[in-house]
Amino acid sequence: VTGGHPLSVLDDVDLLVKNPGIPYENPVVEESLNRNIPVVTEVELAGHLHKGPLIAVTGSNGKTTTTTLIHEMIKADEQLVSVAGNIGKVSCEVARSTSHEETMVVELSSFQLLGTKNFRPDISVLLNLYEAHLDYHGTLENYHEAKAKIMANQSDDDTLVYNADDEKIKSYTSRTNANLVAFSIKEKVDGAWADGEWVYFYDEPVMKIDDIVLVGEQNLQNILAAVAAVKVNGISNKAIEEVLKTFTGVEHRLQYVTEKNGRSFYNDSKATNILATSYALRSFKQPVILLAGGLDRGTTFESLSPYLSSVKGMVLFGETADLLKETGEKANVAKVAKVEGMHEAVQKAYEMSDSGDVILLSPACASWDQYRTFEERGNMFIEAVHKLN
């Protein structure tokens, strides 16, 4: 059908599979619902096609890291496993070729989950709930309800891995028939937890925290969620340790790049908002040189100020450079500089820094004023770091 979207396209249609990003106010979608034609996203089809164990991961932050960790841990245990969904490959395409013995790990957005009817993972993972995508969902409650659909059809044969530190998520656990396995960075729980020295699963020590390569409180939450999910799935501590001792992070998400002359470089280009950058800054005890800036969406940066106490220098670029400069100066950051591009930014940050410092790209802004994608921005940072003398 070309040249438009006539409602006649729905004649003799039994099911409409909607791209997750298309709103439900779309005339074709609305007419489908008026005709009682089910409207789903492709995730629903994947649930029917895949015959092996299914692990589904959602949350406002940390989905990709957690999904990747689960996939890598199962693979390290020499089990059959595939990864799909919001992380890259379309899940129903992957599900067509999986075997009965193969675990499929699926990262799911709220858009994808909203279009599910009977989708039922064996293990669901609900990481956290913040404010996001209100332009699509209309209200915060609608957004949270879409996320909660991950556990809607689970039975007592299934497991919900949930964040016991998130009060909203805790309130949702009474809705499900699934077995509950918690994770927490704050206290001992029935599930995965940490005491500052060890990661535990119930009372079993899994590995020492000092042996984990990934840094930061947010990543520790992701790690605990992944540990809970794979331990339920029967994965060995040896496989978990093997992954956590070597996994340096998903690209552009607080990704360790290298060390040069005592300076550690981290690429957090995916941090396109203040919340993400605040998490990154809280991840380091060392002094930080922060590279930030990007597309001006009318945001003010006052809420970033409390997290700048460990920042000894800021190198700023893009449309928001002046706003961030004002924020840094008000927060008494010792050195603040504006630059034009990424190579200049990395050079300036290096000049500001001393041995023992962290040089962190965590822009707090979208990339589209200077770069096509956050990936392009992150790759330019990595390239500039490797070119330093």
Residue 111 in domain: yes
Q: What is the CATH number of the domain that holds 199?
A: 3.40.1190.10
Count: domains in the chain: 2
Residue 10 in domain: no
Residue 31 in domain: no
Examine the domain organization and report whether 208 and 173 are in the same domain.
yes
pLDDT tens for 224-252 read 999 999 999 999 999 999 999 999 888 88
Q: One digit per residue, pLDDT tens: the chain, 389 residues? A: 888 889 999 999 999 999 998 999 999 999 999 999 999 999 999 999 999 999 999 998 889 999 999 999 999 999 999 999 988 789 999 999 999 999 999 999 999 999 999 999 999 999 998 877 777 888 989 999 999 999 999 999 999 999 999 999 999 999 999 999 999 999 999 999 999 899 999 999 999 999 999 888 889 999 999 999 999 999 999 999 999 999 988 888 889 999 999 999 999 999 988 988 998 999 899 999 999 999 998 888 999 999 999 999 999 999 999 999 999 999 999 999 999 999 999 999 999 999 999 999 999 999 999 999 999 999 999 999 999 97
Long-range contacts of the stretch 232-235 (C-beta < 8 A, 24+): 232/123, 232/159, 232/161, 232/181, 233/53, 233/55, 233/74, 233/103, 233/123, 235/73, 235/74, 235/77, 235/79
Examine the domain organization and report whether 133 and 224 are in the same domain.
yes
Examine the domain organization and report whether 69 and 179 are in the same domain.
yes
Residue 2 in domain: no
Examine the domain organization and report whether 267 and 133 are in the same domain.
no
Examine the domain organization and report whether 232 and 281 are in the same domain.
no
Partner residues linked to 291 by β-bridges: 315, 361
Closest CA to 306 of 326, 328, 283: 328
Q: What is the CATH number of the domain that holds 271?
A: 3.90.190.20
Residue 238 structural domain? 42-244
Count of beta carbons in the 10 Å neighbourhood of residue 269? 28
Examine the domain organization and report whether 50 and 161 are in the same domain.
yes
This prediction has a pTM of 0.82
Examine the domain organization and report whether 138 and 285 are in the same domain.
no
Residue 151 in domain: yes
Residue 330 in domain: yes
Examine the domain organization and report whether 240 and 335 are in the same domain.
no
Residue 29 in domain: no
Domain boundary among the residues 189, 218, 244 is at: 244
Examine the domain organization and report whether 189 and 301 are in the same domain.
no
